[in-house]
Structure 1
Amino acid sequence: MNRHVSKLPLVALVVAVVAATVGGVAASADDSSVPDGAAFVVGKDVVTVEELDERIDALRALYGIVPPKAGKDLETFRRDAAKSVAVSMILDRQEARRGIRISDKQARDALDRYIAEQFGEGGREDFVRALGNVGTSEQDVLEELKRQLAVQRLMKDVIGSVSISDAELAAEFERRKAELGVPERRTVQNIVVADEAGAKSALDRLEKGESFRAVAADVSIDESTKDKAGELGAVAREQLEPAVGRAVFGTSKGDYYGPVEGQFGWNVGTVTAVAKPKPADFARDGAAFRTQLEAETRDDRWTSWLTARIRAADVRYADDYRPAHPDAAPTESVPAS
């Protein structure tokens, strides 16, 4: 991922993963406080710090995600992980109340499809070898698949059918027309270095005629682009850090920009192509907008429902594990029905 395009939050990866086996590690809590040694409590079910650490270890084994080693990043990760486990427990209870069960055969069929897609025909040996490499078992994977399938079924049950009438579609398209057009995009080559002096040196080499590919390979600290001539591809202004965006979109095609400081270092670069903005057109864009509007409706229904269940679940966190927004639903994409 390049260093200037917006990144998806890590919490989206954590939710629905960490608590694959948390259901069997509960104890009773008789009062409204969080017991010593507990990370959080859901109703009368307690998850201890040790148990949460085990869930984080499972996350590392199953998905190769390594928690930060120290500092605020580790603190945020642990708070996000605690919330993820709590939300998973709430979903478990809702699935049980609705009689949602995933059979061993359904999970096995899903696993067989996964193996065929990821490892090819006859790939079971490679799959078993991969399990050994990350320190988990086929049964762990099957249980995780059961959880994912159960959540998908719960989502469909909660959301129901979504239908946008032609009149609703046309009215909403008109209301959002200004924001639905395709913004101007610029194809950019960019070099990132650690300090302003290094950026000025890189820019000087470019202006003297040295190839962008050679300079990027020599000095750029952006590992995702340094061996690709600094190519960021075609980007809209809002995809870039504000300062970098101002520089890129204030530069004419073929000219250089920078040095400009961004979050990850000092930037210099060039604009190699400019694609003009395109206003929204209902005849051209209406079908795609219907899909977008349906997805937004599903997201809204699920988020409203889940937020209400979280607020009603009596979740209490220890101070060191309380997330920034404990009552808010995690931001996840809802699959199409």
Structure 2
Amino acid sequence: MGIGVIVALAGAVLAFFLGRASPVPTGIAVVVGGEQVTIDELDRRIEVVEAVYGIERPSDGPGQDRFGRDIAASLAVATLLEQAADERGIEPGEEVVERTLADVVAQRYPEDGRDGFTRALADRGVSEAEVRREVQRQLTNQILFLELTAGVEVTDADARAAYGDLTGAERMLPEVRELRHLVVATEDEASSARRELEDGRAFGEVVVERSLDGSTREDEGRLGALTREDLDERFAEVAFETAEGELFGPVRTDLGWHVGRVEEVRPAAEATFEDLGPTLADRIALERSLARWRAWLEERFEMTDIRYADAYRPEAPDRIPGADQRPPGTDLAPDGRATDQP
């Protein structure tokens, strides 16, 4: 091979690896496979993300710089995923988009609902159409993940092998307690409610009459079977030191003053394979799905020309945001329906 050919090949390889650092046109933040994302589009995307997810950009200069670079990297991957989804003809159905948007509104604005959502968008200068588009992007990523990881199998032997690898401590099921409670605004009210219970009044009656917790009031204060870790630390400390059948409280949490009763105690015990098998199988399936997803992302990333403007280039341009995480809400069928729908 002549020296001229060797030099030419070396130049081509160097150009490939330096391509992600080559200049981009003025006004462009990042180029992904020939698709240009302008600085204005990136700034607008930040405003939409802030409105949808409540993310606030840092106020200090260095923090803002890192934030902008991180957003540019995430947007590069998002654009890459959109391109792949377009190639596959993936488009979430309108029903699932609307349902997901309603969930976002409920989570972000639990008190004011749609009105609060609309006011917040107006305050930020963001339209509902832009928010809907952001939701649609996330759903598209979820469907793409499900398509790419379809067919991942976990056998009973896989789960049993994982169970065999657990240490003694890892096989222990924590203590579980069946609890009931009521919550009121003041310590005096809680003490009064406890006296009524000690005098023999039915727990459910006192809950229906007094409790501020609407989520458990209709079920007469039943919280269900819970571990210590499931509970507020202050509540758990008292509830897990109380004997079965006994009352506890008043105890204060951020919700108010609680009075409770321990209905049943199920002591910690060693878990059998039947106890842990389904959980272990789910964990293995997730690990294998993420491995397949990561491999696909890395291959796609290497195949795609991604270049950043100097002001938006990440510290590690070859790191792929989200490669080790599945898109949230991946409980959808490949056509964009919720998997529990007929």
Bin the TM-score by the shorter chain. 0.5 to 0.7
Unaligned regions of 5+ residues in structure 2, if any?
Answer: 1-18, 175-232, 238-267, 333-342
Which one of the candidate residues 121, 132, 138 is aligned to 1:131? 121
* Shift of residue 325, structure 1, vs aligned partner: 3.4
Q: Does structure 2 retain, via aligned residues, the 8 Å contact 1:64–1:134?
A: no
Q: What is the identity, as a one-letter code, of the residue corresponding to 1:289?
A: L
In structure 2, the partner of 1:202 is none
1:52 equivalent to 2:23? Answer no
Q: What is the identity, as a one-letter code, of the residue corresponding to 1:147?
A: R
Distance 1:320 1:165, change over 3 A: same
Which one of the candidate residues 136, 142, 155 is aligned to 2:132? 142
Unaligned regions of 5+ residues in structure 1, if any?
Answer: 1-28, 185-229, 235-276
Distance 1:233 1:304, change over 3 A: farther
Q: Does structure 2 retain, via aligned residues, the 8 Å contact 1:39–1:47?
A: yes
Task: Tell me the distance in 2 between the aligned counterparts of 1:135 and 1:119.
Answer: 17
Q: What is the identity, as a one-letter code, of the residue corresponding to 2:315?
A: A
Task: Tell me the distance in 1 between the aligned counterparts of 2:154 and 2:272.
Answer: 18
Task: Tell me the distance in 1 between the aligned counterparts of 2:143 and 2:65.
Answer: 33
Cα offsets for 1:70-129 (capped at 9, x unmatched):
344333212210111111111111111001123545433543565577768995444433
Q: Does structure 2 retain, via aligned residues, the 8 Å contact 1:40–1:318?
A: yes
Cα offsets for 1:207-243 (capped at 9, x unmatched):
xxxxxxxxxxxxxxxxxxxxxxx97989xxxxxxxxx
Distance 1:279 1:70, change over 3 A: farther
Distance 1:281 1:102, change over 3 A: closer
* Shift of residue 163, structure 1, vs aligned partner: 2.3
- CA RMSD in angstroms, aligned pairs only: 4.0
Task: Tell me the distance in 2 between the aligned counterparts of 1:183 and 1:322.
Answer: 47
Cα offsets for 1:272-318 (capped at 9, x unmatched):
xxxxx988753433322222111112211111111211121111123
In structure 1, the partner of 2:92 is 102
In structure 2, the partner of 1:154 is 144
Distance 1:109 1:310, change over 3 A: same
Q: How many residues are matched?
A: 224
Q: Does structure 1 retain, via aligned residues, the 8 Å contact 2:145–2:326?
A: no
SS class of match (2:154): coil
Q: Does structure 2 retain, via aligned residues, the 8 Å contact 1:78–1:321?
A: yes
Larger gyration radius, structure 1 or structure 2: 2
Q: What is the identity, as a one-letter code, of the residue corresponding to 2:39?
A: V
Distance 1:316 1:127, change over 3 A: closer
Distance 1:315 1:178, change over 3 A: farther
In structure 2, the partner of 1:295 is 286
Q: Does structure 1 retain, via aligned residues, the 8 Å contact 2:30–2:312?
A: yes
1:70-81 to 2 correspondences below 5 Å: 70-81=60-71
Q: Does structure 1 retain, via aligned residues, the 8 Å contact 2:48–2:130?
A: no
User: What is the TM-score normalised by the length of structure 1?
Assistant: 0.54
* Shift of residue 176, structure 1, vs aligned partner: 5.0
Q: Does structure 1 retain, via aligned residues, the 8 Å contact 2:92–2:140?
A: yes
User: What is the TM-score normalised by the length of structure 2?
Assistant: 0.54
Task: Tell me the distance in 1 between the aligned counterparts of 2:57 and 2:143.
Answer: 30
Q: What is the identity, as a one-letter code, of the residue corresponding to 1:298?
A: S
Which one of the candidate residues 314, 321, 324 is aligned to 1:323? 314
In structure 1, the partner of 2:52 is 62
In structure 2, the partner of 1:332 is 325
* Shift of residue 165, structure 1, vs aligned partner: 0.4
Q: Does structure 2 retain, via aligned residues, the 8 Å contact 1:39–1:321?
A: yes
Structure of higher RCO (CA pairs closer than 8 Å, 6+ residues apart): 2
In structure 1, the partner of 2:6 is none
In structure 1, the partner of 2:201 is none
Task: Tell me the distance in 2 between the aligned counterparts of 1:134 and 1:282.
Answer: 52
SS class of match (2:59): coil
